[in-house]
Amino acid sequence: SDLLDSSSLTNLILNIQPDEVYNLAAQSHVAVSFKNPLYTTQVGTEGVTTILESVRSLSKDKKVSFYQASSSEMYGGSGKQVFNEESKFEPKSPYAAAKVFAHEMTKTYRESYDMFAVNGILFNHESPHRGETFVTRKITKAVGRIASGTQSKLTLGNINASRDWGFAGDYVEGMWMMLQHEKPDDWVLATGETHTVEEFLDKAFSYVNLDYKKYIETSDEYFRPNEVDYLLGDPSKAMKELNWRPKTSFEDLVKMMVDADLKSAKVEKIS
Ligand code: GDP
């Protein structure tokens, strides 16, 4: 269903009568949000409001739990801070601004109508299914092709940016745990470790015995009008209250993604 088609979205939810609703929908790419701010805003704000209204109406007859995919991008920040549920939001992109709206709207419905509505404030979460325009997958895809001899260069933007990268599979488990908790609330999911894009590059290329410095170029095209330089999350509340754990290390995440893209590059080469 199209998030901007509010009547079909409402009908869909009222027909299915779900027990749990997870709203992961958004225009989710930060750089794209600078190029398409209106679309990013519409999807990010109208979509969640339509879903919250439908869930509110269903909630009159039975318990319906609602999960909103909030984002570490909402923190923005400057300098090297550790963010938790109490940290202030300073969005630096249309993507992040729309996410702040959806976060506050979810809280508003929770408090106004006593709904089971939660915000999961997730730091970057990656996997072999990550979109190819996000930096982790762009790197592992390139490593696969360079190792197969079908690509020679990788063009990136700011490789000094630092992110708290975890494995999406671990985070999806955390999302589900939030909806099973006795009380609705907001929780951060993060690994508690941060790494630069350059460290990701180094790990990914050295895993196949290549030196990333021989392949990297930078282009203005991949720099953003405003940048979130450093993200590091503190997941202690989720660890304590939900008994959630980030199980996959940074190193294992990089290897998992490179292994998958070594395979896909081989398939590409013969087809
Ligand atoms: P984000 O944290 O949600 O914006 O996830 P991304 O994977 O898109 O970007 C993570 C960081 O990598 C940001 O600080 C980007 O500026 C930086 N970066 C550097 N080069 C690139 C690039 O070529 N593509 C993307 N997507 N990000 C890049």
% of the chain with per-residue pLDDT over 70 = 100
Give yes or no for residue 34 CB within 6 A of ligand 1: no
Distance (Å, whole) CA 237 – CA 246: 13
Q: 82: pLDDT confidence band, cut at 50, 70 and 90?
A: very high
Q: Which residue has tokens 């805003």?
A: 41
Beta-sheet pairing, 195-196 with 162-163: antiparallel
Give yes or no for residue 161 CB within 6 A of ligand 1: yes
% of the chain with per-residue pLDDT over 90 = 97
71 given a catalytic annotation: yes
Report which residue type is found at 230: Y
- For residues 216 and 201, the answer to whether their CB atoms sit within 8 Å is yes
Atom of ligand 1 nearest to the CA of 28: 3
Atom of ligand 1 nearest to the CA of 157: 20
How does pLDDT run across 92-112, given as a tens digit for each residue? 999 999 999 999 999 999 999
- For residues 231 and 193, the answer to whether their CB atoms sit within 8 Å is no
How does pLDDT run across 159-182, given as a tens digit for each residue? 999 999 999 999 999 999 999 999
pLDDT at 152: 97
Find the 134 Cα to ligand 1 centroid distance in Å: 6
Give yes or no for residue 134 CB within 6 A of ligand 1: yes
95 given a catalytic annotation: yes
Report which residue type is found at 62: K
- For residues 6 and 43, the answer to whether their CB atoms sit within 8 Å is no
Beta-sheet pairing, 116-122 with 186-189: parallel
Distance (Å, whole) CA 70 – CA 99: 6
Distance (Å, whole) CA 150 – CA 182: 52
- For residues 49 and 10, the answer to whether their CB atoms sit within 8 Å is no
Q: Is 239 helix (H, G, I), strand (E, B) or coil?
A: helix
Find the 190 Cα to ligand 1 centroid distance in Å: 17
Find the 175 Cα to ligand 1 centroid distance in Å: 24
pLDDT at 264: 96
pLDDT at 155: 98
Give the mean pLDDT of 76-99: 97
80 to 162, 228, 234: CA distances (angstroms): 10, 11, 13
Q: Is the pLDDT score of 1 beyond 90? A: no
Give the E-state strand segments of 90-185 in sequence order: 116-122, 125-126, 154-156, 162-163, 166-167
Atom of ligand 1 nearest to the CA of 159: 19
pLDDT at 130: 98
Give yes or no for residue 157 CB within 6 A of ligand 1: yes
Q: 271: pLDDT confidence band, cut at 50, 70 and 90?
A: confident
Q: How far apart are the first and last CA of the chain?
A: 34
pLDDT at 23: 98
57 given a catalytic annotation: no
How does pLDDT run across 4-50, given as a tens digit for each residue? 999 999 999 999 999 999 999 999 999 999 999 999 999 999 999 99
How does pLDDT run across 124-143, given as a tens digit for each residue? 999 999 999 999 999 999 99
pLDDT at 7: 95
Annotated catalytic residue: which of 54, 65, 70, 71?
Answer: 71
Distance (Å, whole) CA 86 – CA 233: 11
**pTM across the whole model:** 0.96
- For residues 120 and 132, the answer to whether their CB atoms sit within 8 Å is no
